[in-house]
Amino acid sequence: MAVLPPLATVADLATRLNRTFTPEQELQVQALLDDASSAVRSFTRQDITRATTTETLTMRRADPVLHRCAGIVTLPQRPVIDIEAVAINGTASSDWWQDGQDLLLRAWSWDGPPAANRPPQVSVTYTHGWDPVPGEIKAVVLQAANRMLVNPAQVRSETVGGESVTYLIPTTGEALGVLLSRTEERVLKRYRGPGAASMQVRSR
């Protein structure tokens, strides 16, 4: 799988902070942006950046009245820009249509016993994601990276005179990398995709 690019650049953060980074600082900032981008992608379960991928998903039975088709799969990455190829159990198919994140397959003979418990596997090559990255996602990445830049120990509160220091990570004070705040998670919720539990194979 190809390495995904960061969702914001060093230049973006330099512009936001109205400052210039030294070469050493640029390396640090880049690492923080990579970590913040990973945190955002982990929370949303989305690549976010525009890409073309192949997913192999398990077909589920559709409601014949509601969907008027034999089966359906939900593509996990959004938004779906274009579907380039579909194959069912290794056989190319053009007998399908798209409805948002769902791919509906018009006709397919489901196996009878003893293979009845093995639903068809649908391989889909499709283009998805945003170009450019939405501004509020970029803002979350920049904010999270900058928070780690100015407060690498992730200290939430600190008092003088022998009082204990309070950290974002309780008990140990061990930093786990870039963390998202609750406010940032609320911003990102609208970009969250369906769970990837049904996805079995993925390639770029």
Q: Where are the alpha helices (DSSP H) in the chain?
A: 10-17, 23-44, 135-150, 182-188
Structure-token match 């640090």, residue found: 28
Q: What is the pTM of this model?
A: 0.80
132 burial via Cβ count (<10 Å: 0-12, 13-18, 19+): exposed
Say which range, 29-43, 94-108, 161-175, has the weakest mean pLDDT. Answer: 161-175
Q: Is the pLDDT of residue 65 over 60?
A: yes
> What is the pLDDT of the chain when averaged over all its residues?
84
Of all residues in the chain, what percent carry a pLDDT higher than 90? 64
Q: Which residue has the higher pLDDT, 134 or 200?
A: 134
The residues, ordered by sequence, that sit 6+ positions from 151 with a Cβ below 8 Å of its Cβ are none
Using only the alpha carbons of the chain, give its radius of gyration: 22
